[in-house]
Structure formats: C-alpha cells, structure tokens
Amino acid sequence: MAPIERDGEVDRPACTTSLLNKQLVFVTGKGGVGKTTISVALAMLAARKGMKTLLCEADGSGDFPSYLGSGPIKYKEREVLERLYAMSMDTEAALREYLHIFMHMPVVGRIGPLASAFDFVASAAPGVKEILITGKLCYEVREHNYDLVIVDSAATGHVISHLAAPQVLNNLVQVGLIRSQTGWMLDILSNHEITGLLVVATPEEMPVSESIELIGKAEKETTVGLVATVMNRVFPELFVQSEEDIFKKLCTDHGREKLAQVLNGGPDTLLEAARMAVEIRRSSTLHIDRMRQALGRDVPLLNIPYFFDPGTPYELASKVAGALGDEIGA
C-alpha cells in the first residue's frame, strides 16, 4: 500500500520533532522492550505539561492499572490522574458507538446477532476490525476531545494492520459511507503535523533489527510518519578512558590485593559486575549506532536510562516520564 498521492505526487510532509506537538501518537515495539512503560510515561509527561491526554490500551492486555495505580480500565475512558484519561479498546463497544454516532442507532447493552455478523465479516474482509480501533482514536482527534491521544499499540507484528486499515478499505470500497469514513481517517493519519509513530526498542540485536524492519514497512505500507524512536533501558557509561586504565590495574593480582584491603573482603564479585556492565554498555552502543544510522538525521533517537531500582510500575513510569522530558526538552 503506497502513500496517498495527490496530483501525481506523494503526499508525505516532513515530521515535526516534538512528541508533545502531536495530537495522535501510536507507540509500538517488540514485546518486552517496555512499550507500555513508554506509553504511560509519555501520557504522564503530557498531563504534567497541562495537556488533556487520553491513553488507550489498544490490545486490551489489562496492564494499565498497575502503571496508573487505578482499578480496571474499560472502554469508557475515565480520569485516572489529573488531566490523564485512560481507556481499553473493545471492538464490540467501538462498533456500538460507531453505529450510534454515524448510523443513529440507539445505544443498547449488547448488539448480539449484529456483533456475530460483524465477526463473520471481519474474519473475511481485511481491515474491518482494525478500522474500529483506528477510527475510534481518529474520532477523538477530529472532535478535539483531547489535546493528545497516546495509543499503546499492538506489538511490531500487528501494528501495521491497524495503521493501514483505512487505506486498505479505501482501496477496496470506492463509493459510499465506508469510503467517506475512511477518507477523513486518512486525512488525520496522513497529516504528520497531527499524527506520529513512536517505535520503542532496547539496545539489543533483535529489538533493533525488528524496529528497523517495522520502520521500513510503515514507510511503505502506511501514511503515518515516524516521529521518533526510543532506545529504552540504556546502561550508563561507567568509565571514561582514564578510569578504564585504573580498572585494568585493579584487575591485576596486586590491584585485587589492594582492593580487598579497602573492601575488607574479596573483590571478585565487584570487579566481575563492573566488567559485565562495561561490556553491556559497549555492546549497547553498537546497537544504538546501528539504529541511528538507519534513521538518518531527521528522526530523533531518544535514550532512556536503565533504572536499577525502578520501584513499582507507577514509580518506574514516573521516572521514565522525567527522562523523556529531559530528552525532548519538555
């Protein structure tokens, strides 16, 4: 699926760099890289800056309560922190809301046979179920209900189908209500001043490789622009070059003897931990450099440190929010 073309030219305007300048941000990444932590942290940061923010859990995994210190999060959004609202996506509830808003059907508790019919159609037609998820989020942006909508999206293997759903249906249906609905969604998704994709990785081979592949697919198959990438859990640089020379001397027999006197015990565990930390940092640097080269100069690469004492999920998200603020100058 190619980007939208108008008058023979590809419409792909330049992205702005600040995450907080957007109105709709999709956050994705390989499982286990901290995608949800980054999503919640970004929402916390936006709310702290006075923005009315909606945080949406797109896959319904149920992780938000531990990060937000709240009870269960459902489809109906509710305020969980000051200026921060949260919701969990539910396709049946989204269908019910869509039918009420656009078809003027009365709101009922369940839509029974209609939901079953929808599931049947959705299993056969690409993009039907995904359009409800993407459409709900685009609708909140269109109606200016929030200053910023942040989506804890599906992992790298599935997010493209959500972002591409309006374009897929737009290509399949040439006239009628569905065509008009996908049209305004595409206008929002294709506007890089409004919408952006944030890709989260950790400085390891597989997450970086998958992220680079995802960025390429998003560029080719969707109209959503990449606003930034986050390199999460970056180990600190423990030693400068002069300190590394001292560290090498401490690893000699004479150095170990002197260090043992200071520590009043064997230094082997301490030295091994320091050595491993240095090796991890050096390996991380290689992967960070590979990501930076793949991105080019126009896309920011934001580094979030490894927090050795993260505390609760809420405390971790709060710390990451502060680190994100430092990275983007907010």
- In what order do the strands lie in the sheet containing 24-29? 78-81, 84-88, 53-57, 148-152, 24-29, 195-201, 226-234, 301-305
pLDDT of 222 > 80? The answer is yes
pLDDT, one tens digit per residue, over 187-203 is 999 999 999 999 999 99
- The kind and range of the H/E element at 195 are strand 195-201
Tens digit of each residue's pLDDT (9 = 90 or more) over 69-128: 888 999 999 999 999 999 999 887 887 787 777 666 665 555 555 455 445 444 545 556
**What pairs with residue 301 in β-bridges?**
229
b/e string for 44-79 if b means 16 or more Cβ within 10 A? Answer: bbbbbeebebbbbbbbeeebbbebbebeebebebee
The structure tokens 């941000």 sit at 25
pLDDT at 109: 53
d(CA 260, CA 306): 29
Phi then psi for 177, rounded to 5 degrees? -65, -45
Per-residue pLDDT of 140-162, as tens digits, reads 999 999 999 999 998 876 889 88
User: Measured at the alpha carbon of residue 304, what is the angle toward residues 35 and 296, in degrees to the nearest 5?
Assistant: 85
The whole-model pTM stands at 0.82
Q: Which pLDDT score, from 0 to 100, does residue 269 have?
A: 79
- β-bridge partners, 199: 28, 229
Over residues 276-302, the pLDDT tens digits come to 777 778 889 999 999 999 998 789 999
Burial class of residue 14 in the structure, from the number of CB atoms within 10 Å of its CB (0-12 exposed, 13-18 middle, 19+ buried): exposed
Dist. CA 10–CA 212, nearest whole Å: 22
Domain ranges of the chain: 5-236+297-328
For 11-58, how does the pLDDT look when each residue is reduced to its tens digit (9 = 90+)?
A: 433 333 479 999 999 999 999 999 999 999 999 999 999 999 999 999
| Pairing outcome for strands 24-29 and 301-305 | unpaired
Q: Which secondary structure element, helix H or strand E, spans residue 232, and what is its range?
A: strand 226-234
What is 5-236+297-328's CATH topology?
Answer: Rossmann fold (3.40.50)
Calculate the CA 242 to chain-centre distance: 38
CA distance 199 to 228: 7
Give the pair of three-digit tokens for residue 147. Answer: 């200053």
